[in-house]
């Protein structure tokens, strides 16, 4: 089997890339180590920027999203007993959308398969070679047998624990890493959201986030120690902690219900540069991850492959390679903007384990500075709602 682009990973990056290439008449095969039901139910992101939603619609993958997504005009920050709304619609005329990543993946898989784009599930990539020649090969294992996929180029869309970055050439490579001294306990609850918009709560006991997946399902997160065991959190302990960190506000109640999923999530910022080595390109979480506080990871994955698909199109239509050369720099500008924003939101809203009384008081002053002026709210809104998909 030989294709133009071999794509490792059927997450948002790999599936969006396959679709964009197909629309330009460029052939690809997607190799995914997990099963189709697994990727279609894996609980991850929930918040999409306008630019991502526009691209999903333009590529014909947005039919269900348009019916089921929840558009949000603003978010609320809660700290020091105060509620502050950041009205993105009024400030910058932009909004964001709640739509579960697993739902988006389901839609992307269905549209790609219906168009005849091959997605091989339970096909685990073990290695690749030839990226410095003109015939790269991807080696994978499926149904107990070894296979090889010959391609012109390889797109490593295989996430943070994949093989593309692991085996990316070391020469000239620089990694940037920041691990936070806390994690998130994430729960999924059969109960309506506490509020129609997201609530980001700063509290001396730690951060809490109230988000959602639908009008009947809430998604909630609590700052916890990084190596926390989720089984140490009984339902009672979870609900008491959410009540404390939210505080008392007129019309706001923690709505309790059956907890259907519970897990601890690591918080990390990471970038590897460059994102290309000869005929291998990294895109999405394989090249960079952000702490989820800024809701940027999946949006970055989508914008990376938008840039990459343009480069492949220029090459296959006109033989031009300048966009391949520009790929890393074009992506990194947006990636580092999102890195900074995610780090800033994380450090502004979380309580450091060794925080002094001064640190906590200063954080409240920072939150008051940001929410207390139009320019502060605008800065937050512009970054939260997302920079243009291409910069």
Active site residue ranges: 72, 200, 292, 296, 384
Which partner, ligand PHB, ligand RFL, none, binds residue 159 by CB below 5 to 8 Å per kind? Answer: ligand RFL
What are the two backbone dihedrals, phi and then psi, of residue 262, each rounded to the nearest 5 degrees? Answer: -150, 125
Q: How many CA atoms lie within 13 A of 213 on its CB side?
A: 22
Considering only the stretches 40-48, 126-134, 237-245, 255-263, report the one whose residues sit in contact with ligand PHB under the rule CB under 6 A.
40-48
Rule CB under 6 A: is residue 202 a binding residue for ligand PHB?
A: no
Pick between residue 38 and residue 66 the one whose CB is nearest to ligand RFL.
38
Residue pair 159/14 in contact (Cβ under 8 Å)? The answer is no
Coil vs helix vs strand at 251: coil
163 binds, among ligand PHB, ligand RFL, none (CB under 5 to 8 A by kind): ligand RFL
Report in angstroms the alpha-carbon separations of 228 from 244, 265, 301, 329.
19, 9, 28, 37
Annotate 293-331 with DSSP letters as a single string.
GG--HHHHHHHHHHHHHHHHHHHHHH---HHHHHHHHHH
**Taking a C-beta distance cutoff of 8 angstroms, is the pair 217, 188 a contact?**
yes
Smaller CB distance to ligand RFL: residue 12 or 274? 12
Give the binding range for ligand PHB (CB under 6 A) out of 24-32, 136-144, 252-260, 292-300: 292-300
Tell me whether residue 14 or residue 274 sits nearer to ligand RFL (CB atom): 14
Q: Is 290 in the site for ligand PHB (CB under 6 A)?
A: no
Bridge partners of residue 210, in order along the sequence: 199, 220
Nearer to ligand PHB, 62 or 291 (CB): 291
Phi/psi at 327 (5° precision): -55, -55
Near ligand PHB in 43-62, by CB under 6 A: 45-47
In angstroms, rounded to a whole number, what is the distance separating the alpha carbons of residues 216 and 223?
24
Encoded tokens for 270? 């990471």
Going by the DSSP 8-state scheme, the letter that residue 351 receives in this structure is: P
Interface with ligand PHB includes 162 (CB under 6 A)?
no
Q: Transcribe 212-234 into DSSP letters.
A: EEETTEEEEEEEE-TT--GGG--
Question: Contacting ligand PHB (CB under 6 A), which of 72, 202, 203, 219?
Answer: 219
Of the pair 283, 345, the CB lying nearest ligand PHB is at 345
Select the binding partner of residue 328 from ligand RFL, ligand PHB, none (C-beta < 5 to 8 A, by kind). Answer: none
Task: Give me the residues that bind ligand RFL (CB under 6 A), please.
Answer: 8-14, 31-34, 39, 44-47, 101, 124-125, 157-159, 162-163, 186, 265, 284-285, 292, 295-299, 301
Contacted entry of ligand RFL, ligand PHB, none for residue 219, CB cut-off 5 to 8 Å set by kind: ligand PHB
Residues at the interface with ligand PHB (CB under 6 A): 45-47, 198, 211, 219, 292-293, 295
């Amino acid at each position: 089997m030989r294709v133009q682009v071999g794509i490792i990973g059927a997450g948002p990056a790999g599936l969006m890339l396959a679709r964009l290439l197909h629309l330009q008449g460029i052939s690809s095969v997607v190799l995914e180590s997990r099963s189709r039901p697994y990727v279609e139910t894996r609980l991850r992101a929930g918040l999409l920027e306008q630019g991502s939603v526009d691209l999903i619609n333009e590529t014909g993958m947005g039919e269900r999203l348009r019916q089921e997504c929840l558009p949000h005009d603003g978010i609320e920050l809660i700290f020091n007993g105060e509620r502050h709304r950041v009205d993105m619609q009024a400030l910058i005329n932009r909004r964001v959308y709640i739509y579960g990543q697993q739902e988006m993946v389901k839609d992307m898989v269905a549209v790609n398969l219906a168009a005849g784009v091959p997605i091989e599930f339970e096909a685990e990539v073990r290695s690749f070679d030839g990226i410095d020649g003109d015939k790269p090969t991807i080696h994978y294992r499926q149904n107990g047998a070894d296979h090889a996929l010959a391609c012109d180029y390889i797109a490593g869309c295989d996430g943070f624990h994949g093989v593309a970055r692991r085996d990316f050439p070391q020469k000239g490579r620089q990694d940037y890493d920041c691990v936070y001294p806390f994690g998130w306990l994430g729960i999924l609850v059969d109960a309506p959201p506490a509020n129609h918009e997201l609530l980001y709560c700063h509290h001396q006991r730690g951060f809490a986030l109230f988000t959602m997946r639908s009008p009947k399902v809430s998604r909630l997160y609590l700052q916890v120690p990084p190596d926390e065991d989720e089984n140490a959190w009984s339902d009672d302990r979870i609900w008491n902690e959410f009540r404390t960190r939210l505080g008392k506000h007129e019309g706001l109640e923690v709505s309790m219900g059956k907890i259907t999923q519970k897990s601890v999530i690591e918080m990390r910022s990471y970038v590897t540069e460059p994102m290309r080595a000869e005929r291998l390109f990294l895109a999405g979480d394989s090249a960079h991850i952000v702490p989820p506080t800024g809701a940027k990871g999946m949006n970055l994955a989508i914008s990376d492959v938008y840039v990459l698909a343009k480069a492949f199109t220029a090459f296959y239509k006109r033989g031009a390679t300048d966009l391949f050369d520009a790929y890393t720099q074009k992506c990194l500008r947006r990636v580092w903007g999102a890195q900074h924003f995610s780090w800033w939101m994380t450090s502004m809203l979380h309580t450091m384990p060794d925080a002094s009384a001064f640190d906590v008081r200063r954080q409240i002053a920072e939150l008051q500075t940001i929410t207390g002026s139009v320019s502060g709210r605008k800065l937050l809104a512009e970054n939260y709602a997302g920079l243009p998909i291409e910069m």
